[in-house]
Structure 1
Amino acid sequence: MSSTVPTIYVSDPVHDSVVAALRAEHTVHLGYGPDAVDYATVSSDVDAVLLRAEDFGRDKIEASPKLRIIARHGVGTNNVDLDAAREHGIWVTITPGGNSRAVAEHVFALTLTLARKVAAGSNRTRDGIWTEGKSELTGIELQGRTLGLLGLGNIGGHVAEIGRALGMDLLVSDPAVEDSTVAAIGGRRVDLDELVSGSDVLSLHAPLVPSTRHIIGSAQFDRMRPGALLINTSRGGLVDENALLSALRSGRLGGAGLDVLDAESTEMRDPLPHNELPLDELDNLIVTPHIGGQTDEALSKVGHAAVNCIQQVLAGDTPENAVVAPARTAA
């Protein structure tokens, strides 16, 4: 191998310890912050990219003659041209599981905020209202309620664990999971219709593929229990947002907590442009800007997992969790 110090490009903010680990052994260019570097100015020298939200298409790949790995900080690869990476002999890796607990806890941050009307109560207090209309802030307890999970992957498993600890009953709909697996965590496997109609809190943990786009729409909202809560920390496209807002405005749905949106981008200024009402007039809707996995612990775990993949490739080894392997090294 060449004795030249490898060059790493980090696209978006990562944990400080991750940058420190890279700088200990490599030349590092950051695509963010006061000294941000445009990738085009360093592409010819870059050996590895640690990628978060930045789009990394064919143009960048073809401008990177030394590039050996694109290490995703997360599990999604929709911002990477996988075909171009494969054609140019570049590894693409992901970092599954590192933020699962963080996202699962965010599910309950949203759920409890809705169930106990925390946001509405806080807003009233900020407006100087203490006792007036206090009965309108009466909430519900989660113990004895039914938690429905659409999908039981790493995150769904953590959500199930927390829900059961809170005394909730558990329903799961996931065609890839056996009845025995669901039974082992104290739940019951059901189809989508029963999941929707039987849940007090419906939490989504499915991938976004053609068959799951808008899997929760008008028909599902009509079948949900009056006052039920919908939580989506997975992919925005799972929910028909127009149907969701109609269900919220009508009062059919008790509340919704969204950490993801259908038309999500990094430059959004109006999260729900089709909404007829300002967000602050919908007390039963909470929207957070895709921060479910953004905890100090998760950012450290995911970032260092990506660094590990980079180190493996630079050492000539096969990296963990590869979704694209160069043709010349593929089995």
Structure 2
Amino acid sequence: MTDKKIVFLDADTLSRDVVLRSPDFAHEWTNHPATRPAEVVSRLAGAEIAVTNKVRLDRQHLHQLPALRLVAVAATGTDCVDKAACAELGITVVNIRDYAGITVPEHVFSLVLALRRNLVAYRDDVRAGRWQEAGQFCFHDHPIRDLAGSTIGIIGEGALGQGVAALARAFGMQVMFAAHKGVDGLGPLYTPWDDVLAGADVLSLHCPLIPATEGLLGLVEFEAMRRRPLIINTARGPLIRDEDLEIALDRGLVGGAGLDVTMPEPPAKDSAFMRLARRPDTIVTPHIAWASVEAQQTLADQLVDLIEAYAAGAPRNVVSGEF
């Protein structure tokens, strides 16, 4: 039996603490720490299995890779792969699922709590000597708000959205799942889109990036928000128009933002996203909501499971359509 050639294009997207076990069939596995667009075709030449986390596989790449039969995305989101081209060429696409149900909701609430309680501002004040200047046991330069009794709007009702909802209820928050934009009558789980915008104190995004969701939150949506909510995005950067969020923060339409994602990653130094990162009402993290050691190990184990399932002729987590 000929060894199957497996190439991981961006292996450094996984922590060195993660153990990536060897598949149980004859194979040749090559790890590249990172891969530039111009290197994709040469590195995948002759490979039957490509593993990518965020390296893009476009139509122009795929048409030059006749041996390629499987793209294993080491993540849930598959917007980095031209799935229509894969379908035309008979290339199976699989992705990781249900591995981040703890780490992402915990990161969401790390951002929410830090923003609602102004933790970064108070930390910076203490470092700058403000406590000594106050001359008493505390000072109240920044407002602190409880979560109990407030309302969270969740865009995306999958495993991550449900995980966020469970933590929100534990904090005593009211939970609204947003109906799809412009769509009513989806059932009792959903609150109409406009009602979520108007009624949320926190708005958290957990939907995939597809053409229908790109630019989901822009200035029109921010102007419809009545309670100056916190905007939390741990999903995909293009769901939010960064320039519009900047305007909304300047105008006081929203109360703050916790952002873990953008596009491209890393962002350009002069981008609107980096201007947001420097604001006192915004906390930015470098796309690490998913990245607890426990979650990464679950991802790595599932990745090899999926490759083994494909090799056995029974592929799992096959992606179709826009997802």
Whether the TM-score (by the shorter chain) exceeds 0.5 is yes
Task: Give the AA of the match of 1:150.
Answer: I
Contact 2:243 2:272 (8 Å CA) reproduced: no
Matches of 2:211 and 2:66, distance apart in 1: 35
Kindly tell me: are residues 22 and 229 of structure 1, through their superposed partners in 2, closer, same or farther at Cα, counting changes over 3 Å? Answer: same
**Would you say 1:91 and 2:92 are equivalent positions?**
yes
Secondary structure at the aligned position of 1:9 is classed as strand
Alignment of structure 1 residues 299-310 onto 2, 5 Å = 299-310=296-307
**Would you say 1:295 and 2:292 are equivalent positions?**
yes
Q: Residue in 2 aligned with 1:272?
A: 271
Task: Give the AA of the match of 1:138.
Answer: P
Contact 1:93 1:323 (8 Å CA) reproduced: yes
Contact 1:43 1:63 (8 Å CA) reproduced: no
Matches of 2:283 and 2:5, distance apart in 1: 41
- Identical residues among aligned pairs (%): 31
Alignment of structure 1 residues 162-311 onto 2, 5 Å = 162-175=167-180, 179-180=187-188, 182=189, 189-261=190-262, 264-270=263-269, 272-273=271-272, 279-280=277-278, 282-311=279-308
CA RMSD of aligned residues (A): 2.8
What's the CA shift for 1:112? 0.6
Deviations 1:202-235 (A, max 9, x none): 1122333344333322233233234421111122
Matches of 1:86 and 1:222, distance apart in 2: 40
Task: Give the AA of the match of 1:243.
Answer: D
Structure 1 segments, 4+ long, off by >6 Å, are none
Secondary structure at the aligned position of 1:19 is classed as coil
Show structure 2 runs of 5+ residues with no match. Answer: none
**Would you say 1:154 and 2:159 are equivalent positions?**
yes
What's the CA shift for 1:300? 1.5
Which of 3, 7, 10 is equivalent to 2:8?
A: 10
What's the CA shift for 1:292? 1.5
Secondary structure at the aligned position of 2:231 is classed as strand
Normalised TM-score (structure 1): 0.82
Task: Give the AA of the match of 1:320.
Answer: R
Secondary structure at the aligned position of 1:219 is classed as helix
Kindly tell me: are residues 210 and 236 of structure 1, through their superposed partners in 2, closer, same or farther at Cα, counting changes over 3 Å? Answer: same
Secondary structure at the aligned position of 1:230 is classed as strand
What's the CA shift for 1:44? 3.4
Contact 2:242 2:272 (8 Å CA) reproduced: no
Contact 1:143 1:167 (8 Å CA) reproduced: yes
Kindly tell me: are residues 287 and 99 of structure 1, through their superposed partners in 2, closer, same or farther at Cα, counting changes over 3 Å? Answer: same
Matches of 1:287 and 1:241, distance apart in 2: 13
What's the CA shift for 1:153? 1.3
Deviations 1:41-69 (A, max 9, x none): 55334221221111223444344343321
Q: Once structures 1 and 2 are overlaid, which stretch shifts more, 144-153 or 42-51?
A: 42-51
Show structure 1 runs of 5+ residues with no match. Answer: 183-188, 326-331
Secondary structure at the aligned position of 1:248 is classed as helix
Matches of 1:67 and 1:303, distance apart in 2: 21
What's the CA shift for 1:244? 1.6
**Would you say 1:313 and 2:310 are equivalent positions?**
yes
Task: Give the AA of the match of 1:306.
Answer: L
Contact 1:91 1:324 (8 Å CA) reproduced: no
Deviations 1:88-110 (A, max 9, x none): 32211111221232211111111
What's the CA shift for 1:145? 0.8
What's the CA shift for 1:294? 1.4
Q: Residue in 2 aligned with 1:142?
A: 147
Deviations 1:248-294 (A, max 9, x none): 12334221111122xx123423273377x6743x2111122222111
Kindly tell me: are residues 43 and 214 of structure 1, through their superposed partners in 2, closer, same or farther at Cα, counting changes over 3 Å? Answer: closer
What's the CA shift for 1:18? 4.6
Task: Give the AA of the match of 1:8.
Answer: I
Secondary structure at the aligned position of 2:86 is classed as helix
Matches of 2:132 and 2:251, distance apart in 1: 26
Kindly tell me: are residues 248 and 301 of structure 1, through their superposed partners in 2, closer, same or farther at Cα, counting changes over 3 Å? Answer: same
**Would you say 1:127 and 2:128 are equivalent positions?**
yes
Secondary structure at the aligned position of 2:102 is classed as helix
Secondary structure at the aligned position of 1:283 is classed as coil
Q: Residue in 2 aligned with 1:80?
A: 81
